[in-house]
């Protein structure tokens, strides 16, 4: 079972920062997940929320700020004073850091209905960085996944189920040519694991930070888990 570093080593460093991604690599992670948003001037940046309230105690929305404006804020001090000054990174920085060392799971938080044209910019950046083989595009916004598939037939797709009925999801997974179904811990059952494997789909579960639960999911046949702790199951992720 693969362990995917959720927002980097986010249990040990501020989530979605270069510090968290570097630490995940140092701890042996072979797969890292992150969250993608778009600034007002179309830069792709790494942050979980649509605003800065949680990480910088600011109300500004990411889509209303230019990259230069976003650089005025730091995203590490909320976690621990040692990380004060840690900036919000751009996606290209993370790809360059991780390329050749680990797989990247790029969760697009919102598609073109919110960030106009974001799917095209995301696909183009991954192409430019020659990272298509090692990046998985995922989202709860399934329309965005269909746009990505139309733009890039070679794209690797991960389907976040969310509140979508499973009966609907099976059809969309097939149409997308997705490689994996991503479920929350409460959604993961042995029956769903078996259904995925019959369809030759991997099943990935988020967010698992308890070693006993991780072992239970592994015994169930789950292919991978997202965890804030890359060493949850041993010395190497």
pLDDT tens per residue, range 192-203: 999 999 999 999
> What pLDDT shows up at residue 233?
86
Task: Establish if 53 belongs to a structural domain.
Answer: no
> What pLDDT shows up at residue 235?
56
- Domain residues for the domain of 179 are 2-12+24-36+89-227
Task: Establish if 191 belongs to a structural domain.
Answer: yes
Q: Encode pLDDT of 90-112 as tens digits.
A: 999 999 999 999 999 999 999 99
Give CA torsion, residues 185, 214, 30, 172, to 10 deg. -30
Task: Establish if 110 belongs to a structural domain.
Answer: yes
| Count of structural domains, the chain | 1
> What pLDDT shows up at residue 234?
79
Task: Establish if 123 belongs to a structural domain.
Answer: yes
Q: In whole angstroms, give the CA distance from residue 114 to residue 132.
A: 24
> What pLDDT shows up at residue 221?
98
Q: In whole angstroms, give the CA distance from residue 43 to residue 53.
A: 20
Q: 167: domain CATH number?
A: 3.20.20.190
Whether the predicted pLDDT of 125 surpasses 60: yes
Task: Establish if 165 belongs to a structural domain.
Answer: yes
Q: Encode pLDDT of 179-236 as tens digits.
A: 999 999 999 999 999 999 999 999 999 999 999 999 999 999 999 999 999 999 875 5
Do residues 143 and 115 lie in contact, with contact meaning Cβ atoms separated by under 8 Å?
no
Whether the predicted pLDDT of 60 surpasses 70: yes
Percent of the chain clearing pLDDT 90 (strictly above): 98
Task: Establish if 235 belongs to a structural domain.
Answer: no
> What pLDDT shows up at residue 149?
99
> What pLDDT shows up at residue 106?
99
Mean of pLDDT over the chain: 97
């Amino acid at each position: 079972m693969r362990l995917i570093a959720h927002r980097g080593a986010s249990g040990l460093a501020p989530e979605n920062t270069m510090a968290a991604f570097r630490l995940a690599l140092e701890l042996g992670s072979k797969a890292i997940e992150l969250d993608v948003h778009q600034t007002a001037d179309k830069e792709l940046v790494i942050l979980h929320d649509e605003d800065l309230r949680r990480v910088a105690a600011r109300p500004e929305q990411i889509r209303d700020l230019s990259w230069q404006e976003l650089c005025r804020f730091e995203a590490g001090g909320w976690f621990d004073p040692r990380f004060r000054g840690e900036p919000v990174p751009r996606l290209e920085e993370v790809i360059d850091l991780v390329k050749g060392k680990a797989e990247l799971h790029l969760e697009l938080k919102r598609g073109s209905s919110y960030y106009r044209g974001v799917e095209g910019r995301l696909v183009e950046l991954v192409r430019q960085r020659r990272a298509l083989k090692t990046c998985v595009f995922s989202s709860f916004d399934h329309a965005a996944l269909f746009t990505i598939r139309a733009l890039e037939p070679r794209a690797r797709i991960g389907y976040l189920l969310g509140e979508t009925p499973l009966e609907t999801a099976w059809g969309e997974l097939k149409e997308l040519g997705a490689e994996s179904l991503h479920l929350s811990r409460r959604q993961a059952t042995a029956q769903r694991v078996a259904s995925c494997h019959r369809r030759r789909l991997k099943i990935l579960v988020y967010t698992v930070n308890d070693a006993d639960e991780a072992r239970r999911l592994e015994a169930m046949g789950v292919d991978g888990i997202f965890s804030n702790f890359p060493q949850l199951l041993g010395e190497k992720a």
